Amino acid sequence: MTLEQLDKKYGLQTYNRNYTNFVKGEGSILFAENGDEYIDFASGIAVNSVGHNNPVLVSALQEQVAKIIHISNLQIIEPQAKLAEQICTLANYDGAIFFANSGAEANEGAIKIARKYGETKFDKKRYKVITLEHSFHGRTITTVKATGQESFHTPNFSPYPDGFSYVSNLDAVYESIDDETVAVMIELVQGEGGVQPFEKEKIQKLANFLKEKDVLLIVDEVQTGIYRTGKILASNVYEIEPDIITMAKGLGGGVPIGAVMTKHKDVLVAGDHGSTFGGNYLSTRAGLAVLEVLSEMDKSGKLIETLAYFTVKLKEVGDKYSNLFTEEVGLGLMRGLRAKNNEIMKAVLSNCMEKRLIVLPAGKNTVRFLPSLTITADEIDEGFKRFEEAISSI
């Protein structure tokens, strides 16, 4: 059987897959089995933060797997403790971290912390969590309910947990808070919803208001985190100090990991939460290697340089093809071109694949770019050359 036949027979068909068989990656270049070379402007979905086959990540993992991959969380795990310290230090955040295995799981942890805070810190129980329209928070039953898109709440998976509601924009959060509201959960740049950043002043105003009301601010940095928007966390870019922050995608450089960080260190106690795999040697050693590479790029100014170069090239092509795109959106290396409509977005995506360039969709009509943060100027040039070849015929 071909790979496609195998997948269609034995894999549950939850994805609309492309069947190019990639066998190797190097930096931001992917090699297909037939020898074709692709430029990778997606890095998984913001996952391969330090590129493919990154020597620092690879040697850290090779060294680690030959020693020990896993013991239980009933033992101290050296790279886990060190990774927690690194994240808190680099983000300048006085908090503590629980490690999970994915973004959705990190968000589940955040919701559990908020719920227990609401149960134990007030005379009258608070449990409601407000989220935003066009948000995305994950695929578990609770995190789909937290996701502010009606299409995710199909009756197929009902009933959903109580206590979640979403509002259409930041301004609407204020009036929707009541005496049972425990937390507001937001992304600072909505990723899946269309690469839409919020205004810094609006976010800061909301953060201050919530602090006054003793309502927790949960920031879902599963996509924006780990230098994606120019600093280790988008919360640092926005200069806010949320009560709870979740991370995942870019943290392990491709090894599954999720993290929930909070300044409310005393809320969860032994027995309240746990994970078999969360924070094991493999994933946290990967996290340490990723942070080593990216914090060095940040300090040397290389990250800002890459970000600025990508931005210029994207703006050039966006302006030139104003017949296809209405605006350029995003922050840092989380970028998008808003296509005039869904058909144009689809045509751009399929033409790019033909020209051997990987880009992603977001929302209804956004072409999304999430390159590795270590992408070189040559790779950026080649990618945009292919992008123009792909779209000039539309």
Ligand X SMILES: *Cc1c(COP(=O)(O)O)cnc(C)c1O
220 near ligand X (CB under 6 A): yes
43 near ligand X (CB under 6 A): no
Interface stretch with ligand X, choices 27-35, 216-224, 259-267, 271-279 (CB under 6 A): 216-224
Contact with ligand X (CB under 6 A): which of 27, 51, 95, 103? 103
H or E stretch covering 212: helix 200-213
191 near ligand X (CB under 6 A): yes
Quote the least distance from Cβ 196 to ligand X, whole Å. Answer: 12
Q: Can you tell me the distance from the alpha carbon of 59 to that of 38, in angstroms, rounded to the nearest whole number? A: 24
102 near ligand X (CB under 6 A): yes
Phi, psi of 261 (to 5 degrees): -120, 135
**Which three-class secondary structure state does DSSP give residue 188?**
coil
Strand partners, 302: none
Quote the least distance from Cβ 62 to ligand X, whole Å. Answer: 25
Contact with ligand X (CB under 6 A): which of 50, 113, 148, 187? 187
Quote the least distance from Cβ 220 to ligand X, whole Å. Answer: 5
**With respect to ligand X, which residue has the nearer C-beta, 187 or 241?**
187
Interface pattern 142-161 for ligand X (x via CB under 6 A): --------------------
Interface stretch with ligand X, choices 22-30, 36-44, 69-77, 100-108 (CB under 6 A): 100-108
Strand partners, 336: 329, 368
Contact with ligand X (CB under 6 A): which of 28, 48, 223, 365? 223
Q: Can you tell me the distance from the alpha carbon of 206 to that of 186, in angstroms, rounded to the nearest whole number? A: 11
Q: Can you tell me the distance from the alpha carbon of 88 to that of 94, in angstroms, rounded to the nearest whole number? A: 6
Residues ≥6 apart with Cβ < 8 Å to 102? 138, 248, 256, 258
Asked if residues 197 and 330 have their Cβ atoms less than 8 Å apart, the reply is yes
**With respect to ligand X, which residue has the nearer C-beta, 187 or 379?**
187
Quote the least distance from Cβ 329 to ligand X, whole Å. Answer: 15
Residue 359, token pair as written in the block:
């880009």
108 near ligand X (CB under 6 A): no
Q: Can you tell me the distance from the alpha carbon of 152 to that of 157, in angstroms, rounded to the nearest whole number? A: 9
Q: How many CA atoms lie within 13 Å of 164's alpha carbon, on the beta-carbon side?
A: 23
**With respect to ligand X, which residue has the nearer C-beta, 231 or 386?**
231
**With respect to ligand X, which residue has the nearer C-beta, 191 or 242?**
191
Strand partners, 96: 262
Residue ranges binding ligand X (CB under 6 A): 102-104, 107, 136-138, 187, 191-192, 220, 222-223, 248-249
